[in-house]
Amino acid sequence: SDVFNSVQQLPPDALFNLKARLSKDPRPLKVDLGIGAYRDNNGKPWVLPSVVKAEKLITSDPNYNHEYLGISGLPQLTKAAAKTIIGHANFDHDRIISVQSLSGTGALHIASKFLSIIPTTKSKTVYISDPTWINHVNIFENEGFKVEKYPYWDYENKCLNFDAMLSYFQSIENGGIILLHACAHNPTGMDPTETQWRQILDVMHEKDHFVLFDSAYQGFASGSLEKDAFAIRLAVNEKLRDSCLLICQSFAKNVGMYGERVGCFHVVLPEGGNPSVSTSVLSQLNKITRSEVSNPPAYGAKIVSTILTNEELTNQWHKDLITMSGRIKEMRYKLRDHLVTLKTPGNWDHIVQQCGMFSFTGLNSEMAQRLEKKHAVYITGNGRASIAGLNEGNVEYVAKAIDEVVR
Ligand code: PLP
């Protein structure tokens, strides 16, 4: 009867709590720069034209149904998703084992479970960037991993703390599990350059570190799927081609399928490795999925696989990615320019140097609170603003609000 009396109450999730405060806020000018979801120029959620077309195609098929998928998910999706992330050229796709996951979070969860059952990785530390997406900590700690932070952001100069990051990777014990954001780093919006990626992956190789790529924003950062997969492709085709690595892939942001939970988890084997490993790995991944969700959700998977396999829809999707990334980029420039015009104290160039959904503005938690209380502009307490929430109608207002809290 009193078995649950000792259950400790946890604080609410910061981001979803912000969303709740925002929805209760009666001020008409309120601006949502909290949650990382794309909004159009009217501040509304955007269903991508490629998605609208794919939905029509799927639901007009006379054989359309809601049957279960197999345990590993929809094969058309997992195959096409692997090609999307790795590319088509010069890669032996037999090296990759792919299963469908509950979006990017589910892929990270499968990664943590999978690593926890492998004797050579189960007692290892997982290294995540400082700062990172908060759920990285939860996911790996839940699975019993020790989680340590590697230097990533130079808080004072608002840029990548590259030298410190590289020497950190060199200084830790060989064989560490390193989580790298493939592109559009969350929350900083600052990615390594191509030259810096080469250096990072060289150290991964020298130190025999085990790399886990989290790819939640492919195509969303630059508008180009290829450019945003640069680090992953460099790793699998060149720098780490004789190593195993993992890729967690989300279609939440780049296809705008947030609530449909479409993603994939990929295990990449070394070039020329033992082909029988694939069968064993797949059997373990299937056991994880079967015991937790039985089989992954079908609807979003059908939409994304249709987009990735129908040439006309793929082309439309490429345009949609440019629409989203282009509008966000434009808003970065508008916000920076307004702050410069207002002579807001400080340098704001980092806003245009960053990419993807977010800007790590450099505002502290008091400023973030004041933005919310006085101006109804919602950003997270660490100063992260979702640039997708800006539009022609509110960007000047937001700049003025930032100006007021900074002075
Ligand atoms: N990884 C990073 C870095 C993210 O920012 C997110 C979402 O915000 C995810 C993974 C997972 O998102 P989802 O589970 O919605 O695909």
pTM: 0.96
pLDDT of residue 122: 74
Pocket of ligand 1 (CB under 6 A): 36, 103-105, 133, 181, 186, 214, 216, 250, 252, 263
Both tokens assigned to 295: 């089989």
| Helices of type H across 66-156 | 75-86, 103-117, 135-142
Query: Atom 12 of ligand 1 has which residue's CA nearest to it?
Result: 104
Judge whether 257 and 51 are in contact, CB under 8 Å: yes
Query: Atom 6 of ligand 1 has which residue's CA nearest to it?
Result: 216
92: annotated active-site residue: no
Query: Atom 1 of ligand 1 has which residue's CA nearest to it?
Result: 216
**Mean pLDDT score across all residues of the chain:** 96
Q: Find how far residue 231's CA is from the centre of its chain.
A: 14
List 32, 46, 53, 133, catalytic entry: 133
Both tokens assigned to 210: 């085990």
214: annotated active-site residue: yes
Per-residue pLDDT tens over the stretch 7-55? 999 999 889 999 999 999 999 999 999 989 999 999 999 999 999 999 9
Site to probe by mutation for ligand 1, drawn from 18, 109, 130, 133 as the one with most ligand atoms within 8 Å of Cβ, is 133
Q: Tell me the CA–centroid distance for residue 105 and ligand 1, in Å.
A: 6
Mean pLDDT score, 316-327: 98
List 32, 191, 214, 228, catalytic entry: 214
Residue 224 has pLDDT above 90, yes or no: yes
Residue 130 pairs with which residues in a beta bridge? 151
Site to probe by mutation for ligand 1, drawn from 248, 250, 380 as the one with most ligand atoms within 8 Å of Cβ, is 250
List 53, 253, 302, 334, catalytic entry: 253
Mean pLDDT score, 277-296: 97
Q: Tell me the CA–centroid distance for residue 343 and ligand 1, in Å.
A: 35
pLDDT of residue 273: 81
Backbone torsion region of residue 208, taken as left when φ is above 0, otherwise alpha when ψ lies between -120 and 50, otherwise beta: left
133: annotated active-site residue: yes
Is the ipTM, as predicted for this complex, more than 0.90? yes
Phi, psi for residue 163 in degrees, rounded to 5: -60, -40
Per-residue pLDDT tens over the stretch 117-156? 998 877 789 999 999 999 999 999 999 999 999 999 999 9
CA dihedral 125, 129, 132, 136 (to 10 degrees): -20
